Amino acid sequence: MKIGIALITFAGLLNTGFAQNEKPVKLDLGGTATDYDNDLLTPEFHRKRREELRKLLPNNSVAVFFSSPVRNRSNDVNYEYHQDPDFYYLTGLTEPDAALVIFKSQNAYGEIITNEIIFVQPRDTSDEKWTGKRLGARGAKEKLGIETAFDNTSFADFEMHYEKFDKVYAASIPEDVRDDKLDRGDLASMVRYFKRDVDSLGKKLNKFQLEIYMAELRQTKTNEEIYLLRSAVGITCEGINQLMKTLRPGMKEYQGEAIVEYIFHNHGAEHSGYPSILGSGENGCVLHYETNRKTVKSNEMIVCDVGAEYHGYTADVTRTLPVDGKFSPEEKAIYNLVLDAQTQAIALCKPGAKFSDPHNKANEIIAKGLMQMGIIAKPGDVKLYFPHGTSHYLGLDVHDAGLYGDLAAGQVITVEPGIYIPEGSRCDKKWWNIGVRIEDDILITTTGYENLSECVPRNADEIERIMAEKGKLEEFYDNK
C-alpha cells in the first residue's frame, strides 16, 4: 500500500507559552466529572505545543519522533510503560509502538503549509483483553486531536519523500529495541524503515537540533504545566511532613519509603518520579542511594530525597532529618551551613540571572564554612564534600530538558546544595558519616521566584518541632 502526504494549510498559528504578566493559578483543565482523572492535559495543550515546535522549525523541514520502547524486566514481565517525554509533550499519547511526523513547508505563494501524522497501534481485541483498550487510528484523531492518524502497520509503505525537504530532524532514535516482530509496525520495524528511507540524505538529516528545539520549548512551563507541578510538589511535601512525624529509631529505611510513597498514591500521584532515596547514617553520604534496607539509628540523620509524579510531571524535594528528632551540635552545624548556602542561592533565582549563579553562590558559601570548621584547608577542596551541581530543570523529567542559559519566568528549577562527609574523610572523626542535602523546587516569576516546596519546613528548629508531633501513620507502625 502506498500512501501519499496530504498537506493542509493552517491560518494564523497561535502564540502560546507562559503568560509573563500573569501569576500561575490552579486551572480548570477541562474534562467532565467521571470515574477517572479530569485534570489531565487537554488535546488543545498538546496541539499548541506542536504549533510552537513548527514555529521553531525552518521552512521546508520535517521532524520525526518515536515513542519509548517497552522495557523487559524479566522473562515475560515488562516494566510499567513510560512514554518518551517529548512524545507525550507533543501528543498526550501514553501507548508504545508509535511515531509522530511533523511537517513544515511553503508553497509557491509563500503560504505556510503544515501537517502532522501519527502512527499508532491498531485496535486488537485479543491483545486489549490483556493490556487494556487502545486508541487506534480513529481514537488518535478523536481523543488526541491529531489531524492525520494511521495504524503503525502502514509506516513501512508510507511515502514520506524525505528527499524533498531541506532539513530532516529526528529526535533520539531508539537503538536497542528488540526486533523480533518483523514488519508488524512495532517500534523496531518503524525505526528500521525510517533509517532505510533517510540513509542517503547525508547532511540533510540532523539528529541533534531537534533536541535543542524541544529543550527550548520544555524549559518554559505553561500555566497548565505549573498546575501539575504544584500538585506533584504539594503531594511530595505532605509525604515528607508525614515522615517527619512518624520517623523513629529502629525503623527500616524502607518503612520511611513506604510512608512517603503511601502518601503519594493516596493523594493521586501515579508514580514516584525517580527511585526514592532514604539514606540514613553512612548511606546519607551516597548521593543516589536507592537500596533503603538499613535500620535507622538514634544518633543518625536520614536524607529523604523524593518526588511524586502527577500526570507525568515530577517534583524533587529533599530534607535531611535527625532520626531521634534532635540535631546533634555537629549535625546542626553542617545542616545550617547547607541551609545558609541554599537560602543565598535561592535569592539569586530571578529572570536574567545565569543558570549557574545559584550553584556558584552555594559553592562559595559551603567552601567558606567548611574552611572555618577546619574540615577543608582551601576553597578548591570543597569538591571533596560537595561534588554535584546545585540546580536542574524540573518537569516531565526529574532532570528536565532545558538550555541552561539565563533564567526566565516560567522556568522551574531545583536548588539543592549538600555536604557529604563519609567515614575515613581527611577531617576530625566527629564529622564522619554526616550527610546533608536540602532541596526545593523554585518557580522563576516575572519579579523573582516562588518556592513551590515551602510547604515542608527546612529550618532546623521547625523540623524538630514537627518531628515531635504525632503522625497520621504512627499507629500503623506501632502495630506492625
The C-alpha angle 436, 459, 327, rounded to 5 degrees, equals: 55
Q: Is 86 a catalytic residue?
A: no
Do the Cβ atoms of 46 and 158 come closer than 8 Å? Answer: no
Q: Which residue in the list 399, 428, 461, 465 is annotated as catalytic?
A: 399
400 classed as catalytic: no
Please identify which residue in the block is written with the cell numbers 584547608: 377
Judge whether 17 and 52 are in contact, CB under 8 Å: yes
Whether 123 is catalytic is: no
pLDDT in tens, 421-471: 999 999 999 999 999 999 999 999 999 999 999 999 999 999 999 999 988
pLDDT value of residue 470: 85
Q: Is 399 a catalytic residue?
A: yes
Q: Is 265 considered catalytic here?
A: no
**How many Å separate Cα 472 from the centre of its chain?**
29
pLDDT at 322: 98
- The set of residues, in sequence order, having a beta carbon less than 8 Å from that of 252 and lying 6+ positions away, is 292, 293, 294, 295, 296
288 is catalytic: yes
461 is catalytic: no
Rounded CA Rg of the chain:
25
385 is catalytic: no
Spatial neighbors of 378 by CB under 8 A, at least 6 apart, are 371
Beta carbons of 436 and 418 less than 8 angstroms apart: yes
- Cell numbers given for 32: 467532565
Catalytic residue among 316, 331, 397, 441: 316
The residue annotated as part of the active site, out of 439, 440, 449, 458, is: 439
46 is catalytic: no
Q: Are 449 and 379 in contact (CB under 8 A)?
A: no
Catalytic-role residue among 161, 178, 288, 293: 288
Whole-number Cα distances in Å, 141 to 128, 134, 148, 223: 19, 13, 7, 25
Q: What is the pLDDT of residue 172?
A: 78
Give pLDDT, residue 9.
26
Start-to-end Cα distance in the chain: 63
Q: Is 439 a catalytic residue?
A: yes
d(C-alpha 90, C-alpha 51), whole Å: 9
Q: Domains in the chain, start-ordered, CATH in brackets? A: 8-218 (3.40.350.10), 223-478 (3.90.230.10)
pLDDT at 407 over 50: yes
- CA nearest to 154, candidates 196, 122, 128: 122
* Interatomic CA distance for residues 253 and 296, integer angstroms: 6
Tens of pLDDT, residue by residue over 304-344, are 999 999 999 999 999 999 999 999 999 999 999 999 999 99
Is residue 437 part of the annotated active site? The answer reads: yes
Q: Which residue matches cell numbers 500526570?
A: 311
Contacts of 166 (CB under 8 A, 6+ apart): 58, 59, 60, 61, 204
pLDDT at 18 over 60: no
Phi, psi of 336 (to 5 degrees): -70, -30
Say which of 39, 416, 440, 441 is annotated catalytic. 416
Reference 459, options 256, 255, 244; nearest CA is 244
| pLDDT score of 3 | 34
Supply the pTM of this predicted model: 0.91
- Cα 364 to Cα 375: distance, rounded to the nearest angstrom: 15
CB 31 within 8 Å of CB 143: no
Nearest C-alpha neighbor of 336 from the set 462, 465, 464, 459: 459
In the set 186, 437, 441, 449, the catalytic residue is 437
Q: Report the distance separating Cα 39 and Cα 310, nearest Å.
A: 10
Residue among 46, 311, 319, 392 flagged as catalytic? 392
- The predicted-structure confidence for 26-41, as pLDDT tens digits, reads as follows 334 444 456 889 999 9
Residue 194 pLDDT > 70:
yes
